[in-house]
Amino acid sequence: MLEGLSILIFLSISLVTVLVGLRLGRRTQAVDRIAPREAAPSFLLPSSSLAWRELVGRIGSVVPASARDLPALKRRLVRAGFRQPHVARLFYGARALSAAAGALAALGIGLQLAVDNLLMTVAFGGLAGYLLPMQCLIIRIRRRKRAIQKGLPNALDLMVVCVESGLGLDQTTIQVARELLRAHPEICDEFAVMNLEMRAGKGRAEALHNLADRTGVDDLKKLVAVLVQTDRFGTSIAQSLRAHAEYMRAMARQRAEEQASKLPVKLVFPIFFCVLPSLFVVTLGPVMVQIVREIIPMIENM
Half-sphere exposure in the Cβ direction for 93 (13 Å, CA): 16
Q: What is the pLDDT of residue 31?
A: 43
CATH architecture of 145-263: Up-down Bundle (1.20)
Q: What is the pLDDT of residue 17?
A: 65
Note whether 104 and 118 are within 8 A (CB).
no
pLDDT at 280 over 90: no
Residue 5: which pLDDT band, with cuts at 50, 70 and 90?
very low
d(CA 41, CA 295) in angstroms, rounded, equals 85
Note whether 163 and 169 are within 8 A (CB).
yes
Q: What share of the chain is helix, strand, coil (3-state, %, to 5)?
A: 85, 0, 15
Give Cα 155 to chain centroid, integer Å: 19
At position 3, the amino acid (one-letter code) is E
pLDDT at 43 over 50: no
Phi-psi label, residue 166: left if phi above 0, alpha if psi -120 to 50, beta otherwise:
left
Q: What is the pLDDT of residue 35?
A: 47
pLDDT top residue among 24 and 208: 208
Predicted TM-score of the model (pTM): 0.72
Alpha carbon distances (Å) from 175 to 123, 158, 193? 53, 9, 13
Half-sphere exposure in the Cβ direction for 33 (13 Å, CA): 6
| Residues 95, 92, 211, 205, CA torsion sign | negative
* Lowest-confidence pick of 63-67, 134-138, 149-153, 209-213: 63-67
Q: What is the mean pLDDT of residues 150-170?
A: 89
Alpha carbon distances (Å) from 147 to 130, 218, 259? 27, 13, 18
Q: For residue 39, give the DSSP letter.
A: P
Residue 9: which pLDDT band, with cuts at 50, 70 and 90?
low
pLDDT at 20 over 60: no
pLDDT top residue among 111 and 29: 111
58 in helix, strand or coil? helix
d(CA 1, CA 77) in angstroms, rounded, equals 78
Contacts 24+ apart (CB under 8 A), 202-209: 204/169, 204/170, 204/231, 205/231, 205/232
Per-residue pLDDT reduced to its tens digit, 190-210 = 999 999 999 898 898 999 999
Q: What is the pLDDT of residue 236?
A: 85
* Lowest-confidence pick of 31-40, 67-76, 78-87, 244-253: 31-40
